[in-house]
Structure 1
Amino acid sequence: MRELDELINVSDPAWPHLLELLASSATPVEVLPGDAAEGHRALQQMQVTARSALGGLVLNSGGLVVDHGWVRVFGGGSAGRGMPSLAEVNQFPVGFDPTWHPAAGLVVGHDVVGGVFALNGHDPAAVGRPGEPGQMTYFAPDTLAWEAMEMGHSGWLSWLFSGRLERFYDGLRWPAWREEAAALAFTQGITVYPFLWSKEARADLGATRRRPVPMREVLGVAADFARQMGSADPGFLGEV
């Protein structure tokens, strides 16, 4: 086990590089103020250093609000703004436990319609997820299945800032999505009916009925339908 000082005090921390990426981002991004204690808790439990993008993010920010609030990237948490921490979302132990590891991998971000960005654990096949260990995967709310992203966490952050989200979410955003996403609390998502995986929603997304609900409800409904419709159980989608 590495002590907290070893994880924090590194010669080449990732945070200055992340700040450069943020400054040149083609996508609107807000950096939230962080909770130092929560950042330290996450860093120690994960045993990653501030040299990594993941470590730099939890240590130096409360999280990122991307593209008018459509995507939330979890960091050290921001209690004053209501953003849960990476440790809370993944149900880390209260105190450091060297025997504990996230069974399915690490949930590192959500989007407001129930999409989940997760970093694969050491054996993704064992929990029915595609991709290699250490790669990003995405639980898609319109297919109710996990998709391999073929990039690591730092590559995923660069991708978020690259301006390619518009294409990625083609077919999942309606005309007023910016205003509706920006109005949400960070523990809320948007329920869409008919559901995003239905023929009706695909035919005319703008005609769907939408309302803000707890994010736990959005994720729970998606997981229930994934199981009922014969897809693999998506497993843990994060606790918000």
Structure 2
Amino acid sequence: MQRIIVFVIFLLVTSTGLAQHKMRTLEELINKEEPGWLLVKGWIDSAKNKVEILPADSSKATDALFKTQVTTRSPMGAIVYMTGGLLVDGGWIRILGSGHPRLNRSLPEWNKGKTFQEYGEAPGYLLIADDVLGGFFAINGGTFSKEKMGKVYYLAPDNLEWEDLDVTYTDFLHFCFNGNLEEFYKGYRWKDWQKAVATLSGEKVFAFFPFLWSKDWKDINKVTKDPIPIAEQFKFNLETRKRLGLETNYHK
């Protein structure tokens, strides 16, 4: 797939463990000596792509960090604890943090009931970001491949496959900040998409008809685009995968 090639090229020119058992305390999770936010903020400040930091609410941030069970020394923990989330390229990509009125989903709350049932469980994968097309980025916790634990996969809206991007969470951030997003989404950005995305809630994505995974469309400018709740789109994607016999068709 072209998307995977774009990631490989980016990495050539330039692990997060998911398993949790006993819940660690906030004191164990907040690293004051080596805070990962200093690194992440530096990456954002020098990013080629536009990255907007949504402010964190302190009470929500501590709650989200505890439920995520990742230390603030890691980029993921830093983003969860220090931001309400990140909006990349005008909001085309949404990287989950602790939640914000414009992105009213924290990383742990969004995953609960989808990738795990109770906080502290080891999920088979963890949803970390999504885009306005209804594509979902997730860290593999064993569901997709036992050999590629910690790598990011993309549930692509144009084929409903979990595509192995062969990058870590940190690599994924670097790609979002500096990668060629125009090439990654080539053929799926319509005229004046920036205006439509600017008014789209972080709780919604665009539903396309004909479906992007169907063979009934040729031009992204000519398909209908209607905002729908992102939870509805995610559920629809998984149900459609089952109907198409794709549920166990992963890239090993």
Report TM bin, short chain.
0.7 to 0.9
Equivalent residue in structure 2 for 1:150, among 166, 174, 177: 166
How do 1:72-151 and structure 2 match up within 5 A? 72-78=94-100, 80-91=101-112, 100-121=120-141, 123-125=142-144, 132-151=148-167
Q: CA deviation at 1:81?
A: 3.0
1:67 aligns with 2:86: no
Structure 1 stretches of 4+ with a deviation exceeding 3 A read none
How do 1:1-240 and structure 2 match up within 5 A? 1-78=23-100, 80-91=101-112, 100-121=120-141, 123-125=142-144, 132-201=148-217, 203-232=218-247
Deviations for 1:147-191, whole angstroms, at most 9, x for unmatched residues? Answer: 111111111101100132111111222122221111111111101
Q: CA deviation at 1:9?
A: 3.0
Aligned equivalents of 1:193 and 1:72: distance in 2?
Answer: 23
Aligned equivalents of 2:105 and 2:35: distance in 1?
Answer: 24
Q: TM-score with structure 2 length normalisation?
A: 0.81
- Percentage identity across paired residues of the two chains: 36
Aligned equivalents of 2:213 and 2:235: distance in 1?
Answer: 15
Alignment RMSD (CA, Å): 2.1
**What amino acid is aligned across from residue 220 of structure 1 in structure 2?**
K
Query: Could you tell me whether the CA contact under 8 Å between 2:64 and 2:108 is conserved in 1?
Result: yes
Q: CA deviation at 1:76?
A: 1.1
Higher mean Cα deviation, 168-177 or 2-11? 2-11
Question: Where does structure 1 lack aligned partners over 5 or more consecutive residues?
Answer: 235-240
Query: Could you tell me whether the CA contact under 8 Å between 1:131 and 1:137 is conserved in 2?
Result: no
Query: Could you tell me whether the CA contact under 8 Å between 1:175 and 1:206 is conserved in 2?
Result: yes
Deviations for 1:104-146, whole angstroms, at most 9, x for unmatched residues? Answer: 221111111110001111x234xxx586111111100101010
Aligned equivalents of 1:124 and 1:226: distance in 2?
Answer: 15
Aligned equivalents of 1:225 and 1:148: distance in 2?
Answer: 20
**What amino acid is aligned across from residue 129 of structure 2 in structure 1?**
G
Deviations for 1:183-225, whole angstroms, at most 9, x for unmatched residues? Answer: 1111111011111012232x21111111112112222322222
Q: 1:17 to 1:189 in 2, by over 3 A?
A: same
Aligned residues: 223
Q: 1:112 to 1:102 in 2, by over 3 A?
A: farther
Higher mean Cα deviation, 175-184 or 107-116? 175-184
The residue aligned with 1:237 is none
Q: TM-score with structure 1 length normalisation?
A: 0.85
Question: Where does structure 2 lack aligned partners over 5 or more consecutive residues?
Answer: 1-22
Q: CA deviation at 1:89?
A: 0.5
Q: 1:30 to 1:41 in 2, by over 3 A?
A: same
Aligned equivalents of 1:172 and 1:233: distance in 2?
Answer: 26
